[in-house]
Amino acid sequence: MNYKIVDKETYYRKGVFRHFTQDCKCSTSMTARIDVTNLVQYSKATNTKFYINFLYILSKVLNSRDDYRMGYLWQSEELICYDVINPIQYIFHEDTETCTPVYTTYYEDYKTFYKEALNDIEIANETRDYGLDSENHPNWFDASYISWLSYDSLNIELPDGFLYFLPIINWGKYREESEKLMMPVSVRLNHAIADGYLVANVFRLLEKEISNFCRMN
């Protein structure tokens, strides 16, 4: 894990950061539907798992710019930017109706990521431990699939959430709309380092990267 310390005096969002860490401590979240038609078709044609393919694309998008890799060291009050952030995926067990958090490492190489993510899922299905270990995994972001519902909105409340800077991403079951497969995605970011544009941009980048992924792989 490597990161750089961001100079808060020269940070391009200096004024916004000050306001949302001092005057109005809050997060911002948004839910929107994205077109996953091509990714569903690609997954079926290649006999690969849609879930892992989307997790890869999501991880790639969030690693594509500094704004989504920000962290805050509250002990020293330092704003930081991680070199890379990795997804925590959650594996659900039907028989016990519980889930296991899995720390999956992000690899830019798709084949490597797919293989490792699949292996992580298999191990989680065997161990079933709820082994959250945030202290040793500071640059991991929550990526949770809500497979039972094609929902319209989702809100996550965090006590002292103004100190939590990493993205929290949820997505639900896709459904057909006007001959397209549309999937709800929810993005939560700290308002100190992200505004409406940066939150909305995640959805735009996801659809763009889905198109690139299906064309190039």
Cβ-based neighbours of 128, under 8 Å, separated by 6 or more: 93, 96, 98, 100
pLDDT band per the 50, 70, 90 thresholds, residue 217 = confident
Question: How many domains is the chain built from?
Answer: 1
- Of 79, 53, 22, 87, the C-alpha closest to 183 is 53
132 vs 182 pLDDT, higher one: 182
- Residue 110: strand pairing partners: none
Confidence of residue 128 (pLDDT cuts 50, 70, 90): confident
The pTM (predicted TM-score) of the whole model is 0.95
d(CA 30, CA 185): 8
What are the Cα distances from residue 107, in Å, to 61, 114, 168, 201? 12, 9, 19, 22
- Reported as type and span, the H/E element at residue 166 is none
Q: Which residues pair with 71 in a beta bridge?
A: 80
pLDDT digits (tens, 9 = 90+) for 19-37: 999 999 989 999 999 999 9
Proportion of the chain above pLDDT 90, given as a percent: 85
Q: What's the CATH code of the domain at 41? A: 3.30.559.10
Residues 6 or more apart whose CB falls under 8 angstroms from that of 61 comprise 68, 202, 205, 206, 209
> Which 8-state DSSP code applies to residue 63?
T
Measured distance CA(84)–CA(139) in Å, rounded: 7
DSSP string, 22-56: IIS--EEEEEEEEE-HHHHHHHHHHT--HHHHHHH
112's CB contacts (< 8 A; 6+ apart) are none
Give the Cα separation of 58 and 35 in Å (integer). Answer: 14
- Residue type for 155, please? N
Q: What is the domain extent for residue 184?
A: 3-216
pLDDT band for position 1 (cuts 50, 70, 90): low
